Amino acid sequence: MIPKSYLIFEDESFLDSTVAKMNALRKSGQFCDVRLQVCGHELMAHRAVLACCSPYLFEIFNSDIESNGVSHVTFEDLNPEAVEILLNYAYTAQLRADKELVKEVYSAAKRLKMERVKQICGDYLLSKMDSQSAISFRNFASVMGDGRVLSEIDAYIQEHLLEVSEQEDFLKLPRLKLEVILEDNLSLPSNGKLYSKVLKWVQRCLWENGELLERLMEEVQMLYYSADHKLLDGTLIIEDQGLFGVGAEDHVQFVQKNPPRESGKTQRQLSSSSSGATSPSASSTPKSCRSEFKYIASEKTTNNTYLCLAVLDGLLCVIFLHSRSSPQTSPSATPCLLKSLSFEAQPEELGEQPLTAMHYARSGLGTAALHGRLIAAGGYNREECLRTVECYNPKDDQWTFTAPMRTPRARFQMAVLMGQLYVMGGSNGHSDELSCGETYDPRTDTWAQVPELRTNRCNAGVCSLNNTLFVVGGSDPCGQKGLKNCDSFDPVTMIWKNCAPLNIRRHQAAVCELEGFMYVIGGAESWNCLNTVERYNPQNDTWALISPMNVARRGAGVAVYDGKLFVVGGFDGSHALRCVEVYDPARNEWRMLGSMTMARSNAGVAVLGDIICAVGGFDGNNFLNTLEVYYPETDEWSDCTKAFCSSA
């Protein structure tokens, strides 16, 4: 009970008035003590307000408690409009976003760990989902790792699979085609049990036999359904009986989330022995605990044809299964499948065209993503080093020229720092390596000089980290020997400083920032290609070696997407490479991904939205001006326009 001597008064209008005033102060920049740099846009706010609604920013501010001035937080991969919407929400508790921006708001909320906003955005997307958008929504939810939304979408797809299968997104999913031979008087089990057997067969191919999923999809796979209800590989043929071999025991049972038994030779040992040397972290964790295999939905479309949507090793796929009776002779030839379903349409039927190429072929160019566009600068071809700069707009699939650099240069890298582009060093093709650098201001479309490097340097890595520009490694003046040098540049004071040197000399390394660390990947020591990787901690100015790549390479491109490093192409000492691999810092392990459509060394790589772009480079015979894009949700590269431009 409250004593009568207490004064109690509740002003119902005070809170709304205070919130409105605080938001007005934010928008006018008054009393603000934090600046958010979002893709070149500066957003002002109050640290205490943001710390209350974003655990991610709270952690940053809490680790920066010694700072008495204005905190700076940079996001190069978020939509400025989406972040502004979240700031309004933080001050007013009102979330207002155009439907076209909801995914961007969700992505920003995930980064800032604003779980309530994630839930609201997820519910909104679910409410707008139909058969036309189900696959794209599922891909988005998968990339975001939202199990709740994924389960809702999968339930919808189960009920509407045939309608979903007629949509454009579904038609472009990777396809696994199976021809199943039935022993006499047998019929396939019901769909759920059938695809449980199919998933186990795929797992067995990948983990026991060392197959690649993309190889399985290259042609029709022959399977045999035996009298003891086992699905067996059709390549085991007893020709004198005209039947598939039933001697292959189906004794390896892959159970999700359960590691294999340790007695005898476990499946983990089988997997590691078939794939060669692996890192300790990779070999100590069963792959069944790391990869997703999931049956989503299926339909029996004719008496002997089945359609299924499933997740195979984390990849959303269509499984097209055709069954027929046991043949009279050995069915060793690849059968011709009935093209009865619309997802057999060819790319030209889907209206796809090759992505527009650059005006100039370029290798050793600098690339970066800026304001939703891809910038490609300099580089060399068979004739000269270039100073021209081209800008690609994915919305209209067009390349346009911007202001050229002040100096022709190649064999350099480009970084985005505080909304501007920076290039340092390189070679002009006529003299020794360059020490000069320059910066591009997109607001004025002009380049300006920056203070020179302390040493002439070519093939160095360039990276922005904590509002500082870093230049790492590179070639000596003769171009034959790698350097350990690491220098940092403060764009405010315009001063260069020395940092701790690399552990290993390297030039033509791929360099990037991820979660507050700088990574230097591969490269070459003299001309010996490296697979080693070093990580720089700016807090204590130290370098540490981490898990090496699967493939030694120099002149590779690197991109950061969804908290992982994607390393693309390069040169292994003998050949230009098509192969791509990804690094997961949470597990300190590398794994191979789908390969590019063509080999590219010294190409440019950058991320536009949720798509990775690779442009230019050298394929071993020709200098390239072509562009291709990678879709992480499907692990596929494409040089066609349709899906890329529609997603931009």
pLDDT tens track for 499-530: 999 999 999 999 999 999 999 999 998 778 99
One domain for residues 120 and 182: no
Domain contains 5: no
How many Å apart are CA 288 and CA 314, to the nearest integer?
11
Cβ atoms of residues 599 and 578 within 8 Å: yes
pLDDT tens-digit readout, 170-215: 888 999 988 888 876 677 776 667 888 888 888 888 877 777 888 8
570 plus 475 within the same structural domain: yes
Q: What is the pLDDT of residue 1?
A: 57
In 3D space, the residue among 466, 77, 31 whose CA is nearest the CA of residue 47 turns out to be: 31
Please give the Cα distance from 613 to 618 (Å, whole number): 16
Same domain, 609 and 469: yes
Cα-only R_g, the chain: 28
Question: DSSP letters of 108-126?
Answer: HHHHTT-HHHHHHHHHHHH
CA separation for the pair 47, 71 (Å, rounded): 8
Q: Are 497 and 608 members of one domain?
A: yes
Question: Is 538 contained in some domain?
Answer: yes
Q: Six-digit token pair at 455?
A: 């040493």
CATH code, domain carrying 436:
2.120.10.80
Contact 341, 304 (CB under 8 A): no
Is the domain of 101 the same as that of 207? no
Q: Is the pLDDT of residue 573 over 60?
A: yes
Q: Which has more confidence, 292 or 37?
A: 37
The answer as to whether 454 is a domain residue is yes
Residue 224 vs residue 129, higher pLDDT: 129
- Give the model confidence (pLDDT) of 94-119 as tens digits: 999 999 999 999 999 999 999 999 99
Q: State the pLDDT at residue 478.
A: 60
pLDDT at 68: 60
How many domains is the chain built from?
3
Classify strands 528-529 and 557-561 as parallel, antiparallel or unpaired. unpaired
* Per-residue model confidence (pLDDT) at position 646: 54
Q: How far apart are CA 236 and CA 264, in angstroms?
A: 25
Would you say residue 395 lies in a domain? yes
Note whether 310 and 201 are within 8 A (CB).
Answer: no
Mean pLDDT of 367-381: 94
Please return the burial class of 147, using the count of CB atoms within 10 Å of its CB with bins 0-12, 13-18 and 19+: exposed
Identify the CA nearest to 547 among candidates 510, 588, 497, 512: 588
Angle at the Cα of 492 from the Cα atoms of 487 and 497, rounded to 5 degrees: 20
**Among 55-59, 184-188, 437-441, the least confident range:** 184-188
Which domain CATH number covers 121? Answer: 3.30.710.10
Q: Do residues 566 and 558 touch, judged by C-beta distance below 8 A?
A: yes
> Higher confidence at residue 234 or residue 248?
234
Same domain, 71 and 211: no
As a whole number, mean pLDDT of residues 339-363 equals 63
Nearest CA-CA partner of 425 in 487, 362, 376: 487
Answer whether 573's CB lies under 8 Å from 552's CB.
Answer: yes
Provide the pLDDT confidence category of residue 271 given band limits of 50, 70 and 90.
very low
Q: What was the pLDDT predicted at 265?
A: 34
Does one domain contain both 248 and 389?
Answer: no
Is pLDDT above 50 for 169?
yes
The pLDDT value recorded for residue 349 is 40
Supply the pLDDT for residue 251: 27
- Ranges of H-type helices in 253-336: 267-274, 280-284
| Residue 253, pLDDT score | 29
Q: Using CA atoms, how far apart are residues 252 and 264, in angstroms rounded to an integer?
A: 13
Q: Which of 306, 328, 350 is the last residue of a domain?
A: 328
CA distance 601 to 413: 14
630-634: average pLDDT = 90
Average pLDDT over residues 455-478: 89
Report the amino acid identity of residue 63.
S
Which residue, 300, 328, 356, sits at the end of a domain?
328
Distance CA 406, CA 414 (A): 15
Q: Which residue has the higher pLDDT, 324 or 217?
A: 217
Average confidence (pLDDT) over 109-134: 93
User: pLDDT averaged over the chain?
Assistant: 81
Please check whether residue 340 lies inside any domain of the structure: no
530 and 421 belong to one structural domain: yes
Q: How far is CA 532 from CA 226, 458, 502, 528, 566, in A?
A: 48, 20, 12, 12, 15
Residues 324, 428, single domain; the answer is: no
Give the residue, 113 or 21, on which the prediction is more confident.
Answer: 113
pLDDT band (50, 70, 90) for residue 250? very low
**Residue 270 and residue 122 share a domain:** no
Q: How confident is the model at residue 67 (pLDDT cuts 50, 70, 90)?
A: low
Nearest Cα to 580, choosing from 611, 610, 614? 614
Residue 475's pLDDT band, with cuts at 50, 70 and 90, is confident
Q: Tell me whether strands 528-529 and 510-514 are parallel, antiparallel or unpaired.
A: unpaired
- For range 365-392, the mean pLDDT: 93
- State whether 590 and 639 are in the same domain: yes
Phi, psi of 408 (to 5 degrees): -60, 135
User: Residue 4 falls within a domain, yes or no?
Assistant: no
On whether residue 374 sits in a domain, the answer given is: yes
Which range marks the domain in which residue 470 is found? 366-647
Distance CA 316, CA 139 (A): 8
Which residues lie across from 176 on neighbouring strands?
319
Residue that wins the pLDDT comparison between 209 and 375: 375
Residues 6+ apart with CB under 8 A from 15: none
Mean pLDDT of 209-222: 81
Both 226 and 306 in one domain: the answer is yes
Query: Measuring CA to CA, which residue among 481, 377, 387 is closest to residue 430?
Result: 387
Residue 355 falls inside a structural domain = no
| pLDDT given for residue 261 in this prediction | 29
What are the Cα distances from residue 606, in Å, to 259, 288, 367, 370, 621?
A: 37, 31, 7, 10, 24
Cα angle at 102 between 99 and 108, to 5 degrees?
160
Stated pTM of the model:
0.50
Predicted confidence at residue 259, as pLDDT, reads 32
Q: Which residue has the higher pLDDT, 344 or 200?
A: 200
Average pLDDT of span 219-242: 64
Last residue of a domain, one of 108, 128, 148: 128
Terminal C-alpha separation, the chain: 62
Per-residue pLDDT, 126: 94
Nearest to 426 by CA among 460, 467, 477, 380: 460
Residue 448: band (very low, low, confident or very high) from pLDDT cuts 50, 70, 90? very high
